[in-house]
Structure 1
Amino acid sequence: MIRLESFPLPTRSPPTGARSLRAYPTLRQLIAAALVAQAGLAIPLAGNAQSADTAGAPRAATASPYDATRHDALVGAVRDGSTSPSQAVDQLNAWAAQPLAPAVRQRVRADTIVFAMRAGDAASAVRYARADGGIAGLPDYALEFVFQAARSIPDHALQGEAVAQLRSRQPEAWRPRVLEALWLTDTGEFDRAETVLNVLAARSAGSDLEQRVALLEARGALNEARERPLEALGNYTDLNAIDPGHRYARREGTFLLGQVDAPTAAWKEAQAASPDMFTPLERASMQQQALGRSLRWAIAERDQAVGHGPARFVRMDEVLAGFEPAIQEANTAEAQARAAADEESARAWRDLSLQLRYDRMLAWLERGRFPAVIAEYEALRADGVNPPYYALSAAAGAYQQQRRSDLAVPLYEAALRDGGSAIPTPSDTHVGLVYAYLDTAQFEQADALLTQLETATPPLLRRSPERGRANPQYGAVRNLRALEQLYTDRPAVAERSFGILSGLAPMHSGFRDGQAQTQRLREHPDAALALYEELLTDSPDDVSVRAGYATALMDANQHRAGRELTDALEQEAPESIAVRNAVRMRDGRQAARLDIEAGASWGGGALSNRDWRTDTTLSSPLIDDQWRVFYHQIFAQADVDQGSSRLARSGLGLQWTEGRWGASGEIHHANQGPYRTGLALGLNYRASDAWRFAAEIDTNSPETPWRARRADIGAHSAAAAATYVVNESRSFTGRVQRMDYSDGNQRDAVGLSWRERLITGPRFQLESTLGAEVAGADRQDVPYFSPSRERAVELGLRAQYLTWKRDDRRFYQVVQAGTGRYNQAGFGSGALWSVRYQHQWDIGDALQLSYGLGISSHPYDGRSERSREVFLTISVPLQ
């Protein structure tokens, strides 16, 4: 599989700057610079007859008639806290209902606006401001609160009216100009706002603290509106330096740290702040963002610490340990909020808990804990939760790793649909979907998606500081296309693609890895090993390259080196797809195995009238990476004209493989015949990627004709073969065989064959085999078929159709047909033909099963005989 590390990982963790950390974002609208937000209660008294501690200050609305003394007492009561602003609003409304002089009514309305804002009721404050002819008659102190209320709604028109009134009344004052800059910022007039602030800054050299604070606040608000978080953070940092107790600057600066991709620093700031600076929800939100950032760092640390074994995961495990208490805290807070009937807070805590769970899914995926990711996703769905796109992508990746690409496909598709423009092209989600399509035989969809990625990824960047800058993703997409060609059984096309790519970038490890994989699939194990060894010289720590080298070693029967390298990689990088593939291959090669071949035929007469046969081999696990002990059992029976014959042969053997060589020896015993106890030997040698040689001897040949066995005649056999392999699509084989019968007869045969794949593709393959054989026997006065000379030429076709596929589980339908001519000395020539239909199941590393039926016709002694057959083969690794 492709190394996902070659693509950016935009969907591996949530975008930290995509959402505000603030639990209550509306608080930002309440900031109207230091002149309002941090001002004291600015309401003037009518006189000094009453003060804040005046006896009998009202505590609630009364029906007493209005007078200035009572009004001053109300202001003092709010100032000292004995009356709440909302109570004061009620009292002022009661007075406003009475007949009042115009000046008095304006004062009552002005203070009602101020107290409504103090009570947090901006909407009522705006309503009072627009009553009784508008704001023209309001005093200056009330206009600042009108501005603040209008900004909170927002009501930009009322903001502008308040600014205009203040500027007309205080043309030289700086406070109205600051409010003007805020209003221009709120209405998107950023350049005009900056001009106002620049003019003020030029005039404010040596100004007092209040003015400097107000200017920094306004600049911070402007830079935030312009989406310049770094500049805004600098403004609030300067503000904290001159006014350490400035609450808003401290809060906003901390939030901005999260926005500028420093959530860990924001979390540390929140931890160091006073308890009342941030709400528990705000702190928990910052912790969640910090955990997400720490996860990204941990992933990068893991990827850079190749070759360090389990130590690569220390930091990631530390981050993972932080999720569970954070989730528990959020769940507890949600339960408490629901118990208090605070649904808004409960929803906020619920959202935070879900966000933490999504992040933990990503962490589990990167840690290789795929069952945990799947269990969490299924638990979320059971609760009716629709996870966001990046969590869907994580769940899809986990299903894919667990060999359930059929479940991964809809999740990847949903992730791309829901993520939209938030997911760059290409991304790991696109790559995962390409492979999920391939693993579920949706080859047309995979090709269409790859075409989409190629279209969206030109060779040169469309936007870059200078023209002609290469697109770093272009090569990755081209590499993905070549791998798609390789994995859809088009290795010749893939070889050309990787050759072009390696020519463009000779040192690119991904392209060279693809070349090595192609040589493996083209049945060139030596070439694959050489490419990997060369590549490891340049990239000794590349996990995917080392895993590919391990599989190439096992292909070349260098089992010890392959196993040791795979063992090390399994400890070092268990989450890697390439490593997991190598582990599966190692386990299959090392495991014990049961192989069964069975068949039955009927209808012929020259060889037998009816026969059946089972050939079973039970092999031990690989011993010392070279040896296997095996038990071999043959049961067979045939009916001939003279009666029936039965063969039961049991053997115990030893098999050895190391590199280019392979050998086996078996001592066997049969139930009948002159050679009941015997020996079978086999030898294989791979001289190069092109030449393979084999030889075998059996002192009681299983190929002895049934009519010979019925006559108590046995046979020794010896055979040798040489194969020239061009590639997976073409090979040539020559074979010689001698059979020495116990009755003194000898049969010699020489054969040649040429195999050629005519059509290759992911769904359909067509192969042809052209074979010719010449044979002859010394004697014809024997009770079995033994012509003095025979020749045959046959052309066979094998069509294979992929009917179903899910990851490494496949179902094929196979049709084989052959036709040719057979010539027998003394009887002339005749046509021969055969047809077979077969089902073939490959259930990953767990089972290979095929079964089918066939019919054939062959001339014997000048007479064509038709026979029918059924067959079954099973191969099961016992692991």
Structure 2
Amino acid sequence: MLRTFHPHLRPMICVALCSQLLWPTLAFADTAYDGLIRQARGGNYSPVLSVLRQVPDSQLTTGQVSDHLQIASWAGLDSEVVEVYEAQGRNRVLSVQALTATARAYRNLKRWDSASALYRKALALEPNNADLQLGLALTQADGGKPEEAVSRAKTLVAAKPEDPARRLALAYALTRAGATYDALFEYDQAFIRAGNNPDVAREYVFALQRARLPEPALRLARQRPGLIDPSVLRRIEGDVAAERVRLAELATRSEKERYVIADCALADYDQLLKTWTPDAQAHDDVVRWRIDRMGALKARARTAEVIHDYQQLIGEGATIPTYALRWVAASYLDQRQPEAAVDLYRQVLAAPDAEVGDRLEDSTALYYALLESDQPMEARKLAETLAQSQRPRIELKGQPVGDPNDKWMDAQQLAAQAGTHGADLPSAEQRLAALVDQAPGNVGLRLAQADLYRARDWPRRAESQLKETESMAPRDVGLEVSQGYTALDLQEWRQLDALADDVGARFPDNRQVQRLERVRDVHDMAELRVSSYGGKSYGAGNNGAGAVTGSRDLGIESVLYSPPIDEDWRLFGGAGFATGDFQEGTGYHRWQRLGVERRTRDMTLEAEVSNHSFGYGDKTGARLALARDIDDHWQYGGSLDYLSANTPLRALNSGVTANGGSGFIRWRANESREWKLAVSPSHFSDGNNRLEALLTGREGVYRAPGVQVDLGLEVGSSHNSMSEDVPYFNPKSDFSVLPTVSVNHVLYHRYETAWSQQFQAGAGTYSQRDYGTGAVGLLSYGQRVSWNDVFEAGAVLSLLNRPYDGDRESDLRLVIDLTYRF
């Protein structure tokens, strides 16, 4: 019977199919047999079956065989029906009722071909019998011929569309054919016509459940208590919660809207778990709810709880499905445990049930997990492989030219961005430019291009790109975050605040947003800068004292900046001390500074007053400095100093001060190439006028993740109006050329923590008027560490060998600097 193959469809259709099993002319006319038949009609089948079983085969009549087949069918004895038919009825001319009963028994025993043959045999006797047609259609549906079943059932429905039994049969056939939503339509039509019938209502509930519409299914089930089994009802309740989890993962106008849906799902799961956890029979459902609940926690940004529940389930031996592993992997990534995320994403991609359509998304997630675990080369290799695996167009049958493949574009974008993270910015720039030309309306591509412009130190170009993108998606969270960083680079502090406040209110748990807010908060902190140096000279002609810096020289300075005031302003104050041993004796210099700094778009201005003490009483100094950007490539600036801090300590030790200034112009092509020319005139109190010029340049020659190699060049020249009888190194004129090679190597990198080492080597010449030309050599080694955005420190030990006034001198020097924000 139908209960064997479709337990919920049985009652309604069985009533229809049994409608023609009305008892025919009785086989026996005696009163005792009539009584047994009446008992069978009332549901007491055993007496008459016992009598029929005892009749010898040789004495059985066709009527008795027919009675036996039908009554055994009523009793649900399918095996007995088949046994009697095959032993006694196969070669008899049986009634349609007997053939129908036997066909139904074959169907219940899943002997589809035999059932179909008998239905067809009965239809040969009564070709217009709709109940037989329904029975054959259902048998075909169960027997692997759903298309034939659908065709037959559609014919029956067309003949009598108001018959709910026919609608149910067609719906059943459509369900077997995989046409879930077409089947739902037929169940709906049956419900409209016979919704008060519990059997029809029950089937409608299950049809809604199969169509992934659990909420209306649950609503109908609750409106009619007892309609479905409690175990089935709890599964539908779990399906409603699971649907809310899926909805919570979809994009909405704000995180808060997603949270409302996720909170509803969590409330559903909490109630289900509280109700059914004590029931051992509900164990499998409870485990499934606990797994699906992780999706709601992840949507609610409670990722630490996701990891806790996952580890608990694993400890209990639960098998976590692939879709849930994605939630767990994303949670590990969110909790800054990228190594665990990498393992899980690899597991997701290798899963037997992994969907091809999810491969790009899963690979992209793995890419970012590899990046955050400091494996940029592995990430780039993955991105390139993914880009090669996608086709530019989707070939469609009947179309000479396929449709554009969005996944190809996404994969190409990922590969291009991999160049950015892999320190190959020129290649990434070319690839992104080509992609933007192909898809100018793609917001993601434009944002990636703007981020690359910032990485290449072109914030204004990034700003222009983002402004164009704004017309396409004005409040896209990625757009506003990128605009926030650009505003930071351009010193647009109010714009930064507006953007950070907006995305922070709309997406408070978005990690990109939180990162932007953190950067803004660090900018708003007070800042302490400390620098110190110490050195010792060897081999000089001044009894071992360095010509410029003396011997055993030491200096330290601390400057404290206030938090920003009205966005653009900062007050600062500082103090310093320097000392050194010279041929004339030990010199020292103490100073204090107090000033104000103004930082606005394209301009930084500083003004300060200072007090100096170097053995000749306290003296007041002042300084005004300006730096102004013309565009992304050109910058100029200058300073004016009264009692210049650059006055040599050896001069101050003899009571000689200097006033002066400087001017510079800088050209910066990108992150790897720049040149700067500075000219600094000064006037000493002893009447000497000095003019210095310095040209510096840098050219990046090698970039790889964690390694950067630059060629540098310093060309310097100076002229002094007085070169005799002055107590400080004062060449009449000189000229130096010093090419260098610098290497920066990252030893450790983990989010906002980085540790690196620096090597530098240089060899050049120094020419001094009246003293000829000599070689210059430089070796240095240093390390830098940064932590949590607020702390950075570095130390460099260098050895410089060069001539002064014809005497060769070696200078060993240690320089330390520290910056702390609080």
Q: Which residue of 1 aligns with 2:323?
A: 390
Matched, 1:336 2:287: no
Q: Which residue of 2 aligns with 1:460?
A: 393
| Equivalent position SS for 1:568 | helix
Higher relative contact order (CA 8 A, sep 6+): 1
Shift in alpha-carbon separation, 1:428–1:684, aligned structure 2, 3 A: same
Task: Name whichever of 125-134 and 584-593 sits farther off.
Answer: 125-134
Q: Which residue of 2 aligns with 1:510?
A: 444
Shift in alpha-carbon separation, 1:790–1:394, aligned structure 2, 3 A: same
Matched, 1:347 2:284: yes
Q: Which residue of 2 aligns with 1:747?
A: 690
Deviation at residue 49 of structure 1 after TM alignment = 12
| Equivalent position SS for 2:392 | coil
CA contact (8 A) 1:362 1:391 kept: no
Shift in alpha-carbon separation, 1:47–1:151, aligned structure 2, 3 A: closer
Matched, 1:286 2:236: yes
Q: Distance in 2 between matches of 1:824 and 1:111?
A: 125
Matched, 1:255 2:191: no
Q: Distance in 1 between matches of 2:7 and 2:173?
A: 13
Shift in alpha-carbon separation, 1:418–1:43, aligned structure 2, 3 A: farther
CA contact (8 A) 1:135 1:143 kept: no
Alignment of 1:763-774 (within 5 A): 763-774=706-717
Alignment of 1:372-771 (within 5 A): 373-374=306-307, 376-378=309-311, 380-381=313-314, 384-418=317-351, 420-422=353-355, 424=357, 427-463=360-396, 466-468=399-401, 469-576=403-510, 578-604=512-538, 605-606=545-546, 607-640=549-582, 644-674=586-616, 676-711=619-654, 713-771=656-714
Q: Which residue of 2 aligns with 1:242?
A: 193
Q: Distance in 2 between matches of 1:513 and 1:176?
A: 66
Q: Which residue of 2 aligns with 1:796?
A: 740
Q: Which residue of 1 aligns with 2:811?
A: 867
5+ residue gaps, structure 2, are 539-544
Q: Distance in 1 between matches of 2:752 and 2:498?
A: 24
Q: Distance in 1 between matches of 2:817 and 2:724?
A: 35
Which of 359, 371, 379 aligns to 2:295? It is 359
| Matched AA of 1:526 | R
Q: Structure 1, residues 599-650: CA drift from partner, whole Å, max 9, x if none?
A: 3333434233323333332222111111112232324443445664444433
Give the TM-score normalised by the residue count of structure 1: 0.80
Q: Distance in 2 between matches of 1:141 and 1:846?
A: 89
Deviation at residue 228 of structure 1 after TM alignment = 0.8
Q: Which residue of 2 aligns with 1:824?
A: 768
Deviation at residue 559 of structure 1 after TM alignment = 0.9
| Equivalent position SS for 2:491 | coil
| Matched AA of 1:663 | L
Deviation at residue 296 of structure 1 after TM alignment = 5.4
CA contact (8 A) 2:8 2:203 kept: no
Matched, 1:36 2:14: yes
CA contact (8 A) 1:799 1:814 kept: yes
CA contact (8 A) 2:661 2:681 kept: yes
Q: Distance in 2 between matches of 1:574 and 1:852?
A: 41
Q: Structure 1, residues 418-451: CA drift from partner, whole Å, max 9, x if none?
A: 3754251564333222222223332232223223
Q: Distance in 1 between matches of 2:379 and 2:729?
A: 55
| Matched AA of 1:655 | E
| Matched AA of 1:764 | V
| Matched AA of 1:232 | A
Q: Distance in 2 between matches of 1:154 and 1:281?
A: 27
Shift in alpha-carbon separation, 1:662–1:78, aligned structure 2, 3 A: same
| Matched AA of 2:821 | P
| Equivalent position SS for 2:694 | strand
| Equivalent position SS for 2:595 | strand
Deviation at residue 774 of structure 1 after TM alignment = 0.5
CA contact (8 A) 1:190 1:222 kept: yes
| Matched AA of 1:592 | A
CA contact (8 A) 1:412 1:429 kept: yes
Matched, 1:187 2:143: yes
Which of 766, 770, 792 aligns to 1:848? It is 792
Q: Distance in 2 between matches of 1:827 and 1:394?
A: 74
| Equivalent position SS for 2:447 | helix
Q: Structure 1, residues 431-480: CA drift from partner, whole Å, max 9, x if none?
A: 22222222333223222322333234322112367442222333333333
| Equivalent position SS for 1:424 | helix
CA contact (8 A) 2:306 2:328 kept: yes
Q: Which residue of 2 aligns with 1:833?
A: 777
Q: Distance in 2 between matches of 1:504 and 1:232?
A: 43
Deviation at residue 876 of structure 1 after TM alignment = 2.8
Shift in alpha-carbon separation, 1:143–1:850, aligned structure 2, 3 A: farther
Deviation at residue 34 of structure 1 after TM alignment = 4.0
Q: Distance in 1 between matches of 2:200 and 2:398?
A: 35
Deviation at residue 170 of structure 1 after TM alignment = 6.5
| Matched AA of 1:185 | A
CA contact (8 A) 2:78 2:106 kept: yes
Q: Distance in 2 between matches of 1:772 and 1:471?
A: 54
| Matched AA of 1:836 | S
5+ residue gaps, structure 1, are 1-24, 52-66, 80-87, 118-124, 304-311
CA contact (8 A) 1:392 1:411 kept: yes
Alignment of 1:206-355 (within 5 A): 212-260=163-211, 262-272=213-223, 274-294=224-244, 302-303=252-253, 312-313=254-255, 315-338=257-280, 342=281, 345-355=282-292
Give the TM-score normalised by the residue count of structure 2: 0.85
Q: Structure 1, residues 13-45: CA drift from partner, whole Å, max 9, x if none?
A: xxxxxxxxxxxx987256457453677897969
Shift in alpha-carbon separation, 1:806–1:270, aligned structure 2, 3 A: farther
CA contact (8 A) 1:501 1:511 kept: yes
CA contact (8 A) 1:281 1:349 kept: no
Deviation at residue 275 of structure 1 after TM alignment = 1.4
CA contact (8 A) 2:707 2:744 kept: yes
Shift in alpha-carbon separation, 1:300–1:349, aligned structure 2, 3 A: closer
Shift in alpha-carbon separation, 1:748–1:251, aligned structure 2, 3 A: same
| Matched AA of 2:600 | E
CA contact (8 A) 1:405 1:807 kept: no
Deviation at residue 660 of structure 1 after TM alignment = 1.7
| Matched AA of 2:484 | A
Deviation at residue 186 of structure 1 after TM alignment = 1.8
Percent identity, aligned pairs only, is 21
Q: Structure 1, residues 737-761: CA drift from partner, whole Å, max 9, x if none?
A: 2344454444321111222112234
Deviation at residue 390 of structure 1 after TM alignment = 3.1
CA contact (8 A) 2:587 2:649 kept: yes
| Equivalent position SS for 1:760 | strand
Q: Which residue of 2 aligns with 1:62?
A: none
Q: Distance in 2 between matches of 1:382 and 1:683?
A: 64
CA contact (8 A) 1:129 1:135 kept: no
Task: Name whichever of 294-303 and 539-548 sits farther off.
Answer: 294-303
Matched, 1:175 2:131: yes
Q: Distance in 1 between matches of 2:801 and 2:108?
A: 94
Q: Distance in 2 between matches of 1:360 and 1:592?
A: 40
